[in-house]
Amino acid sequence: MFSRRRLLAGATALGGAAFLPSIAHAKGSVAAAIYPGTWEEAFRAIVAPALKKKDSVDLELQPLFAVDQVAKAKAARGAPPFDAFVLDPGPRITAIQDGLFDKIDIKKISNASKLPAGLVDEWGIGVNAQVVGIAYNPKKVPAPKGWKDLFTDPWVSRLGITGFQTTFGTVSLIEIAKVFGGSETNIEPALVELKKVLPKIAAVGQPAAMPGLFQQGQCDVIYTNTQTVATLKGRGVDIEFVKPDTGAITFLTTLHIAKGAAEVENAYKYLDIVAGKEVQEALTKPPYNFIPVNKDVPLPDYLPMKNLDEMSSYVRHDWAKINPLRAGWIEKFNKEMAK
Amino acid sequence: MRKLAEWQLALPLALAFASIFLAPLLMLVGVSFFNDDKITQPGFGQWAKFLGDPFSYKVIADTMLLGLKTVCATIVIGYPLALIYLDASPRLQKVLIFIIVMPLLLSVVVRTFAWIVVLGREGVVNTLLMQLGIISEPLRLLQTELGLVISLTQIEMPLMLLPLISVMSRLDPNLRDASSALGASRWRTLFKVIVPLSMPGLVAGCLLVFASSTTAFISQTVIGGVRLIYLPLLIWQQSLVVFNWPFAAVVSLTLLVSVLTVVSALSYLGRRSGGYVHG
């Protein structure tokens, strides 16, 4: 039989065990969600040691795509499994609308002054820019000039496309729609044109599978970002980036502090170090090939622009308008493209 | 008293089962009966939307057909392999079982990407056929149902072979000898003696292969591409891209019910054939 004393002793031991993780936290750690793949490798190799060295804070990385982070944080209802998000514009807006972020106090991020205006707001900071355009294999096809070329030979029969699941896929399809008379909120013309050439198209794939399909020669023209192109090139793949004649697309990747985060102060330190010159410069180098946003860091020479200001002429999109339409677009894409 | 003790032994598993399987399943059912993605308005809206759309039935049918085609292909290739195993020397049997189990030791992601290398436009199959002069243009194998069934057949093969082999190696060899001594041909012995007696293993293999191939999200999307739409892709899109969890719950339950229906039908057939053997 359990005596009251033994029960209490057991309960105290259990209660004590529950405190263990927070003791570990007290030594200094921060849990940050990170995109799987290049981002995870880069942050593990560069950001984690930098944060440990400067602030003695351990960085625990949780590899999750943007949409997965939002889904997990929503499901956790106020007790997020990580302290910081890394997001693209679409999921960022969803997360703001669902109240998943804490507002940030910009005074706590000293490197914020090194970021161009527009990269810092009440919800977080931009730490990386993505530039999306057309990638092609120069040994197989000539360089296309713009989105319209992708629908004619020789490109169309070597074209690999993805749908609206990702940010880069969505913005590319919007730009295609614009070329054929559509707009940011009307993607119909893109689907009409795609349907016409569908039997010829080389691949309609999952976004994550596209680099592999390109590498294997299944398709020789895709829409993607400069980082993917630089990474594949680094592995010896024949690939070149083209800025479409209607303009390259750009969007920001932003860091945010989760509402209810366990380690708010360490999360600030994490945001600060990622925006800093040292980390930004290291992330720019191969094999990571990030586009830096810190004004003190020079841009790598393979990029289609000379400086960050030039990017202001690039095409941007309003995700507050896109998000509500996206579910319908995904459904439509399924039905139109299904065999 | 002893019975009570046995019952208590099963309790931890029962509790674990109830909390990590039954409870989430009930929540899934609950969530499916909400009209909006914020899960605030109860109703049948999502069910009506899914069941009122002819496209849904096409996706359900395609998913079930994919499972059935994979099952057929694993039987056609797996059954002869099991027969070879049965006749092999103990040493060869060890080698065979290693080859059969080996794919299970590799991550399904690795196996799936390996199939891209094999079936791709510049992959092993196309290069070989072109060098032999059999074809002049590369065949389109990736992103087709044929390519998907071929790769799923390899990926799911251990699930067919392991139950099949475990049942077949328990068959009494005297029965085969008796059959041939009584004048039956090898084919007659196969279809009248071996196949009926191996039925429990065959049915178990079919159930596993069917359930696993209809829900093989990675292989379906990476090898099949997104023009071949199956229920797992819809669930992923609705739950993780669109965040419409009630609709995702509806599709998940549909997949669960459709797979369970086919699986029950298969095990009913298995029981009937078992009765035929022993009856």
| Nearest residue to B50 via CA among A324, A206, A331 | A331
Minimal CA separation from A266 to chain B, in Å: 28
Model-level pTM?
0.83
Domain ranges of chain B: 44-278
Superfamily of domain B44-278: MetI-like (1.10.3720.10)
Minimal CA separation from B179 to chain A, in Å: 49
Q: Does B217 touch chain A (CB under 8 A)?
A: no
Higher pLDDT, A14 or A88: A88
Instruction: Report whether pLDDT(B55) > 70.
Output: yes
pLDDT the model gives residue B5? 75
Q: Where residue B190 falls among pLDDT bands split at 50, 70, 90?
A: confident
| Chain B interface test: which of A157, A173, A216 (most B C-beta within 10 Å) | A216
Q: Of A327, A334, A338, which has the smallest distance from its Cβ to B244's Cβ? A: A327
pLDDT the model gives residue A1? 40
Mean pLDDT of B233-261: 93
Chain B, nearest residue to A70 by Cα: B240
> Residue A258's beta-bridge partner residues?
A101
Q: Does B225 touch chain A (CB under 8 A)?
A: yes
- Mind listing the pLDDT tens digit for each residue in A128-165? 999 999 999 999 999 999 999 999 999 999 999 999 98
Minimal CA separation from B74 to chain A, in Å: 24
| Nearest residue to B75 via CA among B170, B204, B188 | B204
Quick one: what percent of chain B has pLDDT higher than 70? 96
Q: Of B121, B229, B237, which has the smallest distance from its Cβ to A217's Cβ? A: B121
Distance CA B247, CA B244 (A): 6
Domains defined along chain A, listed by start = 4-129+251-309 (3.40.190.10), 131-249+316-337 (3.40.190.10)
| Nearest residue to A101 via CA among A122, A86, A123 | A123
Within 8 A of A212 by CB-CB distance, chain B residues are 113, 116, 222
Distance CA A193, CA A180 (A): 8
Within 8 A of B143 by CB-CB distance, chain A residues are 203-205, 218
* Strand ranges, E, within chain A: 29-34, 58-63, 84-87, 120-121, 124-136, 159-161, 203-204, 221-225, 240-242, 249-257
Tell me what the pLDDT averaged over chain A comes to: 88
- Mind listing the pLDDT tens digit for each residue in A279-338? 999 999 888 889 999 989 988 888 888 877 788 889 999 999 999 999 999 999 999 998
Instruction: Report whether pLDDT(A23) > 80.
Output: no
Q: Does B276 touch chain A (CB under 8 A)?
A: no
Mean pLDDT of A193-220: 91
Chain B, nearest residue to A98 by Cα: B38
